[in-house]
Amino acid sequence: MNASSVTLGVISSGRGENLRYILQEERSGRLPAHVGIVLTDQPDAGALKIAKEFSVPGHFIDPTNLCREEYDQKLIAYLEAEGAELVILTGYMRILSPQFVRHYKDRILNIHPALLPSFRGMDAFAQALEYGVKWTGTTVHIVDEDVDHGPIVYQRPVIVLENDTHDRLKARIQRAEYKAYPRAIKMFIERRPEILGRKLVWQREEK
């Protein structure tokens, strides 16, 4: 990847607010990349509206009657046609097939609303409250063939307050995500990490 011209392909299922903040950082010139395409598995996904707002090509790809491998092959076709070099997942609710993960090996990033490896899976906010932790947060990680498992790129902590509610904690973690994801993408592009087991070894100093 050339740090001055990395093409991002974004895949989303939901509101797409992380996409908005990534696009804002791109348009400001602070993110050395551009979003080339946005793909969703939901026809009313907010990510499509945000893509339209920023004049980015956006496509709903209907998963009906397609197995996981067939669907992911369609995703790959769109991403390849746009020249996507780095795949960014923003609230994507489908599990990627091994075929897809191998095709973009070590070039897929995801964001999870917890400090991995804690609270993998669904509703990490409820898990954090149930366990009574004092800190949780958000993690940007490389996607591998397991769920919420790949090497960690960047983490941002969020305090859990006394008598916190699910919605209040969720809102604070989401605000942390909006800062964390663009920063992690920038780090990943500029510092070119080498993956050694579960760790990243950064090849360049952070700017």
| Residues 110/87, Cβ–Cβ less than 8 Å | no
Q: Is 72 helix (H, G, I), strand (E, B) or coil?
A: helix
Q: 56: which 2 tokens? A: 């980015």
Indicate which residue of 112, 141, 149, 166 is catalytic. 112
Q: Does the annotation count 34 as an active-site position?
A: no
Distance, in Å, from the CA atom of 197 to the CA atom of 113, rounded to the nearest integer, reads 23
Q: 152: which 2 tokens? A: 């960690």
Distance, in Å, from the CA atom of 167 to the CA atom of 154, rounded to the nearest integer, reads 24
Residue type at 102? R
Look-up of token digits 């920038």 = 186
**Could you give the residue ranges of the DSSP H alpha helices within the chain?**
17-28, 46-53, 68-82, 98-103, 124-131, 166-191
Q: Per this entry, what is the length of the chain?
A: 207
Pairing verdict, β 135-142 and 199-201: unpaired
Annotate 41-70 with b (16+ C-beta within 10 A) or e (fewer).
Answer: bbeebbbbebbeebebebeebebeeeeeee
Residues annotated as catalytic are 112
